[in-house]
Chains A and B, each alone.
Chain A
Amino acid sequence: DAKTTQPNSMESNEEEPVHLPCNHSTISGTDYIHWYRQLPSQGPEYVIHGLTSNVNNRMASLAIAEDRKSSTLILHRATLRDAAVYYCILRVSSYNTDKLIFGTGTRLQVFP
């Protein structure tokens, strides 16, 4: 299964931008890059996803490298509520399967 590599933890101060990196060197041409985040004792929350082009939504931006072997989730202004574990996931899909394989994620701490 496709695999991603993320730093175990990162820190940020409130209202500063945060760049969360992810390496996925074994990505195939049809794998979408998904980002979810999880707060303690809750289910994951969808953040953003993309294939080749950079993506923006109300929560974050996703910057995808030209060779697609890495990507960066960008939180433009971190808030205390953004403290969570962020998972970078390759969505594996084919004619008979469509699933997310979670890695270990990055624990983001946000300081006031």
Chain B
Amino acid sequence: GAVVSQHPSWVICKSGTSVKIECRSLDFQATTMFWYRQFPKQSLMLMATSNEGSKATYEQGVEKDKFLINHASLTLSTLTVTSAHPEDSSFYICSAKTGEWNQPQHFGDGTRLSIL
């Protein structure tokens, strides 16, 4: 149980284009979803937290107009990297958890984004 699916698993695109990444909880309802970014040989950095039906809360230093997050249903959140540039190339990982107090986050397998 507690499976989180991310799509696509990898994407390569030209500089200036926008890229959308989907995160789905397959067998549970995700009240809260999280988006992380991970550069090579570094740890995960939390970008934002989104609750279903609400605006996302972004961490300090993360541009909300650059990284658009939508969490319109209890099973789907999307991250759109707008006008992507080479410095946005990274491994983007989502996680999801139910509304129950003491439950862990369950992570997707990540999306490797390469901007040329």
Interface residues of A (CB under 8 A from B): 32, 34, 36, 41-46, 49, 87, 97-105
Contact = CB atoms under 8 A, between A and B. Distances in A.
Secondary structure of the A contact surface, majority rule: strand
Contacts, number: 49
Interface of B: 4, 6, 32, 34, 36, 43-46, 49, 57, 91, 93-95, 102, 104-110, 112
29 contacts: A32-B102, A34-B104, A36-B107, A41-B91, A42-B109, A43-B6, A43-B94, A43-B95, A43-B107, A43-B109, A43-B110, A44-B44, A44-B95, A44-B107, A46-B104, A46-B105, A46-B106, A49-B104, A87-B43, A87-B44, A98-B32, A98-B49, A99-B34, A100-B105, A102-B36, A102-B44, A102-B45, A102-B46, A103-B43
Contacts of B46: 99-102
Given A43-B107, A43-B109, 10 more contacts: A43-B6, A43-B110, A44-B107, A45-B107, A87-B44, A99-B46, A100-B34, A102-B43, A102-B45, A105-B43
